[in-house]
């Protein structure tokens, strides 16, 4: 076990809390109609959003375009994030999160519950944590 100074321990805890806040900001953007105008703010300029079920986008312009599609696809979502495991290594970090939440599809007003897993890579840029690679795995859907 590596012994850390009090300052290193505090920095680690602050980094973990900042990453949690990043995930919550992402969730709020998604639940604000998958707001394409704000989504780039949580990603590094070369960041990646990836899901086998929903597509891949690299860089701010592609991520914004993907979210314009989500904005049209979903009329409601509620991202309930839970069970984070966050590992920090200097200016890089990883995170695993789970989500269970309802979505309403615009077409047909179909209501669906989804369970997903997020495997995230983060990078600290100028003192602020951003997504380097956000990978979403769809684990379960259940129609209402």
Q: Which fold has domain 6-143?
A: Nuclear Transport Factor 2; Chain: A, (3.10.450)
Extents of the domains making up the chain: 6-143
- Tell me the C-alpha distance between 112 and 76, whole Å: 10
Q: What is the largest CA-CA distance in the chain?
A: 57
Cβ atoms of 100 and 123 closer than 8 Å? no
pLDDT digits (tens, 9 = 90+) for 99-138: 999 999 999 999 999 999 999 999 999 999 999 999 999 9
Q: How far is CA 88 from the centre of its chain?
A: 17
pTM of the model: 0.95
pLDDT digits (tens, 9 = 90+) for 4-29: 999 999 999 999 999 999 999 999 99
> Closest by alpha carbon to 65, among 55, 79, 77, 75?
55
């Amino acid at each position: 076990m590596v012994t850390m100074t009090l300052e290193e321990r505090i920095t680690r805890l602050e980094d973990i809390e900042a990453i949690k806040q990043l995930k919550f900001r992402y969730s709020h953007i998604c639940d604000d109609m998958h707001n394409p105008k704000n989504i780039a703010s949580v990603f590094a300029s070369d960041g990646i959003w990836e899901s086998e079920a929903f597509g891949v986008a690299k860089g701010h312009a592609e991520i914004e375009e993907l979210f314009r599609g989500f904005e049209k696809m979903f009329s409601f979502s509620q991202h309930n994030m839970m069970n984070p495991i966050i590992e920090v290594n200097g200016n890089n970090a990883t995170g695993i999160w789970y989500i269970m939440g309802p979505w309403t599809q615009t077409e047909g007003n179909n209501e669906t519950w989804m369970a997903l897993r997020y495997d995230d890579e983060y990078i600290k840029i100028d003192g602020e944590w951003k997504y380097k690679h956000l990978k979403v795995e769809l684990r379960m859907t259940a129609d209402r």
